Structure 1
């Protein structure tokens, strides 16, 4: 029996969803057959994308410390991890990520957040049910990520949604060590939370471009998990001309 196709839009305004992102899915049964990626016009309310601000300010000649850049990166990854954990139903740990994110942004020292951060990372890393629930979703090899122009955690993770979550947590732990570093940010440091800034395209452009490939063939219930594991920041699209919508 051939199932009828169903056209389902997702976004642009959902909880724990990239603001402004629109997915138009074609489903056959509960399986995604085709994907169109679109978004609302990007009209950032801030002069620079919030999560990329330290690196962009440094590129404009302002003095930015390594600690402030590490602080923004850690907070961005905590925000992304919290979103993914909320989507999979880990609400209490998602809330802990968001509290840690706010503490980092408000200036907490590395010692001040160390204990809570280690406990959160340990709980996530030791959970077999969490791993089983998202492992295998959104497989993205390093070669495919590189071909799409990705340069950040999604490239380094070289794997699925679970690997990307672990990569965020790993970068958070590394960044905590330099939260209070007052030395100037290196002039050649242009790696924001989602990848290299100032290149031919903003990092989130590549994250959007790989979505059709990762979502096609996935079950509808898994679509939000895959999107959350990439967590594109649509404010970045204002940094460069944006091509038309992507299609599978």
Structure 2
């Protein structure tokens, strides 16, 4: 009876998109939501880690760290085709219901952690204090996991605190694979660098469902802007589009577009956030909704211009973190330069855990 109840219990699925696999991730979200499962946003609240696409070595390292942060019972899987989703979710429910196997895996993990702690303690006792690869030297975090502040001079020559933060590559409403390192003086970004992980493995394919992709990108902007109700409505229309219910999607998209276009608060909150000369975040948002409408009507459409990672810093320097996130949410990012970030990268699922 307990196994049957566990089998029916909703999954808490943490989805990670490998760059170039957006449509797989969208279809997985739609299928999971239709089945009553919950889309998680943080490892601590997840019991299934589901990777959409085949991860490269850098992302794989980060996924292992995410996995370590998830409590038992838990399950992880990778899927590369939408027709695998139902099977993978069913296998996850079976794996979580297998409590003896889960307890055994948890004990093995605890033994591994215990032996690692003993080894680290032994190394600390025998170190001579000159090893530049020690844990203290490598640590980038302060209390609560936040980086410690450095000092820098402001315009008046007075010293002020500066913080170094990393956003991505695993973050809600964030372009897949993008890593953004910023230096903050107060709440202002004074320096930034951006890259994409695993660019050697990046494979770009033209989206098969333009409407679903455009609606997904529009929902990202609305979510970061804090309009959760509109973001949720956009995702419901997206799910209709990706599951072939185009007529229903068209009917629901029209009033949604009108509401977004008429929102004075949204216009004000996105005002002045430019992504290209003469093009701000609101313009991109409305263009995405227009592109979805055109695609649902089977008409010709203009593709969204893409941005390389190298172009991002110039767009966000001088902004605060919230504005920077809005700008990045309005970008379609393709690889620029390559940077190996796994030695220092964290896995951020929420702006307050960056």
TM-score, normalising length from structure 1? 0.65
Judge conservation of contact 2:195–2:337 (CA < 8 Å) in 1: no
Note the C-alpha offset of 1:19: 2.3
* DSSP-derived class of the 2:245 partner: coil
Correspondence for 2:130: none
* DSSP-derived class of the 1:4 partner: strand
Q: How does 1:173-188 map to 2 (within 5 A)?
A: 173-178=293-298
Q: Which residue, 275, 280, 284 being the options, matches 1:164? A: 284
Correspondence for 2:142: none
Note the C-alpha offset of 1:174: 2.1
Query: 1:218 and 2:319 equivalent?
Result: yes
Note the C-alpha offset of 1:83: 0.8
**Structure 1 CA distance, aligned partners of 2:281 and 2:304?**
15
**Structure 2 CA distance, aligned partners of 1:21 and 1:139?**
16
Judge conservation of contact 1:16–1:83 (CA < 8 Å) in 2: yes
Correspondence for 1:75: 212
Query: 1:7 and 2:164 equivalent?
Result: yes
* DSSP-derived class of the 1:89 partner: coil
Correspondence for 1:97: 234
For the aligned residue pairs, the C-alpha RMSD in angstroms reads: 2.4
**Structure 2 CA distance, aligned partners of 1:97 and 1:79?**
7
Q: How does 1:28-107 map to 2 (within 5 A)?
A: 28-42=185-199, 43=201, 49=204, 52-54=206-208, 72-107=209-244
**Structure 1 CA distance, aligned partners of 2:225 and 2:298?**
31
**Structure 2 CA distance, aligned partners of 1:53 and 1:167?**
17
Q: Write out per-residue CA displacement over residues 28-82 of structure 1, whole angstroms, 9 at most, x where no aligned residue.
A: 12111111102321446xxx646x144xxxxxxxxxxxxxxxxx11111100001
Judge conservation of contact 1:37–1:212 (CA < 8 Å) in 2: yes
**Structure 1 CA distance, aligned partners of 2:274 and 2:164?**
21
**Structure 2 CA distance, aligned partners of 1:192 and 1:53?**
13
Counting matched residue pairs gives 181
Note the C-alpha offset of 1:3: 2.2
Correspondence for 1:63: none
TM-score, normalising length from structure 2? 0.47
**Structure 2 CA distance, aligned partners of 1:76 and 1:108?**
15
More strand, by proportion? 2
Q: Which residue, 176, 180, 197 being the options, matches 1:23? A: 180
**Structure 1 CA distance, aligned partners of 2:310 and 2:195?**
10
Judge conservation of contact 2:224–2:329 (CA < 8 Å) in 1: yes
Question: Rg larger in 1 or in 2?
Answer: 2
Judge conservation of contact 2:179–2:197 (CA < 8 Å) in 1: yes
Note the C-alpha offset of 1:176: 2.2
Judge conservation of contact 2:216–2:235 (CA < 8 Å) in 1: yes
* DSSP-derived class of the 2:309 partner: helix
Note the C-alpha offset of 1:93: 1.2
Task: Give the number of the structure with larger relative contact order, counting CA–CA contacts within 8 Å between residues 6 or more apart.
Answer: 1
Q: Write out per-residue CA displacement over residues 162-195 of structure 1, whole angstroms, 9 at most, x where no aligned residue.
A: 111111122222222217xxxxxxxxx9x88444
Judge conservation of contact 1:215–1:226 (CA < 8 Å) in 2: yes
Correspondence for 2:337: 243
Judge conservation of contact 1:73–1:193 (CA < 8 Å) in 2: no
Task: Quickly say closer, same or farther: Cα 1:139–1:227, change in 2 above 3 A.
Answer: closer
Q: Identify unmatched segments of 5+ residues in structure 1.
A: 55-71, 142-157, 180-188, 196-202
